[in-house]
Amino acid sequence: MTRHTVFFSLLALPATLTACMVPGHLSSAPASMNSPTLAEPAAVPALTVTPPNSHTLILLSPEAAAESAGSPYPYPDLWTYIDHRRITLYPYNSFTDYLYASNGDLWLIGGFGAIRQRPDGTRSWYSIQNGLPVNYFQAIAVAPNGEVWIGGANNSLFRFDGLAWHDEGQFLPPPDKANLWWTCSSSNIFGIDFDRNGQIWVANGGINLYTQQGGHWLDSGFPKDLLPVAGGGGCPIGLRVLDSRHISIVRNGCCAMPPVAYHYNGLVWSEDNDVSEFVTHIAARRRDGQAQPYQTGSMENTVISWPFPAQRILPKHLHPQNRAGNPLPYQPRFGGNLLTFDETGTLWISNQETVFNNAAGAFQDLSVLLNGPLFTPDFSQAKWLDFPADPMIVDGPRRFMHFSRWFFSTELGNEIGPTLSAQAPFWNHPWLYFARDEASRVWFYLPTRGLVMADRGTLTVFPGPLDLTLPLLGGVQPLSDGRILIGTAGGFWVFDRGTWQKQVFPDTDEIFWLFAQDSKGVLYAATDTTVYQIINNHYTRQRFVDQNAKPIVRPHDPSQPPAYHKRYIEAGFHFEEVQKNEWPLHYYALLLRVLPDGTVLYANSHVLAHFDGQIWRSFLFDQITFESVAVDPIGNLWAYAGYNGLLEFAASIFQDYRVLSSP
C-alpha cells in the first residue's frame, strides 16, 4: 500500500449559521431577481452545527481486494467484441472523396466511414457499425494489387484486402511535433498514393510524409520551414507521387489565392502554383467523363442513396473542422461538443457557441448560446441543461446562457476571475464544476474563497479548506441528504450543514471528478481510471486502466469474431504487434450514473463500463476518444467522439460481455 501524507487546514468559520442558509435547512421564500448580491452566511441554532474550527479527517479502509484476486492481470476483462447491431452511428454531414477501382467498384468516404458500391449495384458499408474501428476518412487510394487504402483522423490508416480491414496506422512513426505553430498542423491523413513502382506514400497535416520500405514505415522528413506561419496559408488537400524523386503535395491557397504545390525533385523541395499533376491524377481516379461524377462536401449535394436516414446526419457546424474560436473555451478535460438529455428525453449538443437538439426528429441548429443581453435566471423556473463542463440555462424558446457566463458577470465573479487566472494561467474557463441540487440551488467551489451557493439571484459563500486549491479541485456534487461533495486529489471533502470533513483513500492520488448515490445511500466516486463503492467508511474499487498507458488486456478469444476496434497490448504469451513508441492513451472520467434499477454506468474517454451490483463489465475503445457521454431515459449510452461522430450504444450492449479465462 502506498503511504500518502495528508494535509488539512483549520479555517475560522462563523460561530453560527442561519437555518435558512445551510444545506437541508434552506427557506423556500422567493429571492429578489435583481442583480445578484453576495451574502455572508448567518446563524443556525448552535446545537445543529459542529463547533467551528474543526475539520474531521477520515481515512477510508479498503475491503478485501475485489480486483482479479489471484490473477496475473490487474484489470478487469476489457472485452473486445461488441455486436454491431447494438451500435448506431450518427455520421457527420461530410463527403470527402471518391474513386472508381479497376474492377468497377465505386468507393466513397467521409464522416460516415466508407461505402463500396459494386457494378451490379450491391453495396457494403464500413464503419464502427460494420467492420472498422473509426468512422471518418478523408483520403483513399487503390494499390496496384487491388487493395483499397483509406486514411483519416489521428493517423488512422486501413488496408482492405477484399475480405477484411487491416490496421496499418498503428505502425506509422509518431508524428513530428516540431511544426505545431502551423495552423493546419494535425495527424489527420489527407493523402495516399502509389508511385509507378507500386510503393505507397501517405501524408498527414503535419506535414509528415510516410513511405514503406522493407516492410517498415519511414518518415521522409518534409521541410517544415516551407509551411506558412500561423494566420496564413490553406490546409493540405492532396498528394501525387510518381517516384521517390518526383513528389507533389498540394494545399489550398490563402485568402482566395490559388492552390499551392510543393515539389520534390530528389534533391530539394520547391514551391509554386502548378497543381496540374494532382488535378489530372484526381480526374483519372474519378474517371471524369466516363463514369458518374459526384460532388464532395455536404452530403445533401450528392444524389446517392446513403445507407442511413437523413435524420441521423449531424449538422456540418458540429464538425471539429468547423470549430471557430469559442467565446467560452471549454475545460481542458472536455472536448468541444458536449451531450446531455433533458427530462423529456431530448438529446442536446453544445459546441460552446451554438446549441443543437433532436426534438424535431433530426438534429437542428437552435441558436447561439446567448441570444440577447445577459439575464438573471430563476434557477427553479428556467430549464437547466446539465452539460458536463458548464450547465446551460434556457430562459424561453431561444434564450440560452452558460451558467459560468452568468456567474462571471456577478460581483463575485468579477472579483475572483483575475485571481483564478493568476493561479492557473494555462487552464481555461470556467475552471469550475457546477451542480444543481433538488431545490434548484447551484453549487460550485471557488479556491481561496470556499463553497458557493447560487439561489436564484443570491450568492452565498461558505469558507472552505485552504488546501483545496485550483490544481487539486475536482467535481462538485450535492447529495439528496443535503451534503455537498467536493473532489480533490486522493479523496473528497464533505460539507455538511456548516462542517467540513475530508475522506481520504490510501491507495490513490488521482483527483475525484464524479459522484453518484443509489437509493440505499451507497456512494460511488470516480477518478479518471477507477470507480469506488463506499459504504460506512469502507470501500471497494474497480480499476480499469492505468493513466497515460496502453491497457494490457487478456488475449482475444479466437473463437469469437475479430476485434476490429482494438489496438492494445495483449498479455500472456501472444505476440505483441503494438509499437512501444506509440502515443499513450490518456483517460478522462466523463460519466458516473446510478440508474433507477441500481445499475451503475461509468465512462471515461476510452472505456464504457457497467456494474450490476456483482460484476463490472467493460468495453475498451482505444482508437477513438469520447469527449462526452450521456445516458438517455431508457439506459442507452450516447457518446460524442470528435471526428468519429455521435455513437448510440444500446442498453443491451453489455449482454455481449463474457468473462475470459486466463491463458
Buried b (16+ CB within 10 A) or exposed e, 648-659: bbbbebbeebee
- Between 456 and 637, where is the model more confident? 637
In a domain, 328, yes or no: yes
Three-state SS sequence of 62-103: ECCCCCCCCCCCCCCCEECCCCHHHEEEECECCEEEEEECCC
Please tell me whether residues 384 and 329 are part of one structural domain.
Answer: yes
In a domain, 280, yes or no: yes
Instruction: Please provide residue 266's backbone torsions phi and psi, each rounded to the nearest 5 degrees.
Output: 100, -15
In a domain, 510, yes or no: no
Task: Report the candidate in 492, 503, 508, 490 with the shortest Cα–Cα distance to residue 1.
Answer: 508
The separation between the first and the last C-alpha atoms of the chain, rounded to the nearest angstrom, is 28
CA torsion angle 648 652 656 659 (round to 10)? 110
Say how far apart CA 48 and CA 22 lie, in whole Å. Answer: 11
Please tell me whether residues 203 and 343 are part of one structural domain.
Answer: no
**Confidence band of 177 (pLDDT split at 50, 70, 90):** low
pLDDT digit string, tens, across residues 241-290: 999 999 999 998 887 789 999 999 999 999 999 999 999 999 999 999 99
| Residue 202 confidence (pLDDT) above 90 | yes
Say how far apart CA 121 and CA 144 lie, in whole Å. Answer: 24
In a domain, 103, yes or no: yes
pLDDT of residue 588: 93
In a domain, 230, yes or no: yes
Please tell me whether residues 333 and 238 are part of one structural domain.
Answer: no
Task: Report the candidate in 50, 47, 45 with the shortest Cα–Cα distance to residue 20.
Answer: 45
Q: Note whether 564 and 113 are within 8 A (CB).
A: no
| Residue 70 confidence (pLDDT) above 60 | no
Three-class secondary structure of residue 643 per DSSP: helix
In a domain, 497, yes or no: no
Half-sphere exposure of 500 (CA within 13 A, CB side): 25
Last residue of a domain, one of 409, 427, 449: 409
Half-sphere exposure of 616 (CA within 13 A, CB side): 25
In a domain, 263, yes or no: yes
Please tell me whether residues 260 and 330 are part of one structural domain.
Answer: no
pLDDT of residue 99: 97
Please tell me whether residues 240 and 298 are part of one structural domain.
Answer: yes
pLDDT of residue 230: 58
H or E segment and range at residue 657:
none
What's 231's DSSP letter?
T
pLDDT digit string, tens, across residues 307-358: 999 899 998 888 887 664 433 334 456 667 899 999 999 999 998 788 999 9
Instruction: Please provide residue 653's backbone torsions phi and psi, each rounded to the nearest 5 degrees.
Output: -60, -35
Last residue of a domain, one of 409, 444, 465: 409
Task: Report the candidate in 44, 134, 148, 53 with the shortest Cα–Cα distance to residue 87.
Answer: 134
Please tell me whether residues 205 and 189 are part of one structural domain.
Answer: yes
Grid coordinates belonging to 87 = 451500435
Please tell me whether residues 261 and 353 are part of one structural domain.
Answer: no
Last residue of a domain, one of 409, 435, 458: 409
Please tell me whether residues 239 and 196 are part of one structural domain.
Answer: yes
Grid coordinates belonging to 159 = 488496408
Say how far apart CA 3 and CA 415 lie, in whole Å. Answer: 39
pLDDT of residue 1: 38
Domain assignment of residue 360, given as a range:
315-409
Please tell me whether residues 244 and 142 are part of one structural domain.
Answer: yes
In a domain, 623, yes or no: no
pLDDT of residue 325: 41
Please tell me whether residues 239 and 264 are part of one structural domain.
Answer: yes
Please tell me whether residues 138 and 265 are part of one structural domain.
Answer: yes
| Residue 36 confidence (pLDDT) above 50 | no
pLDDT digit string, tens, across residues 476-529: 999 999 999 999 999 999 999 889 999 999 999 999 999 999 999 999 999 999
Say how far apart CA 340 and CA 324 lie, in whole Å. Answer: 22
Task: Give residue for cell 460550485.
Answer: 444
Structural domains of the chain, count: 2
CATH number, domain at 134?
A: 2.130.10.10
Task: Report the candidate in 278, 135, 95, 274 with the shortest Cα–Cα distance to residue 203.
Answer: 278
Please tell me whether residues 271 and 334 are part of one structural domain.
Answer: no
User: Full-prediction pTM beyond 0.95?
Assistant: no
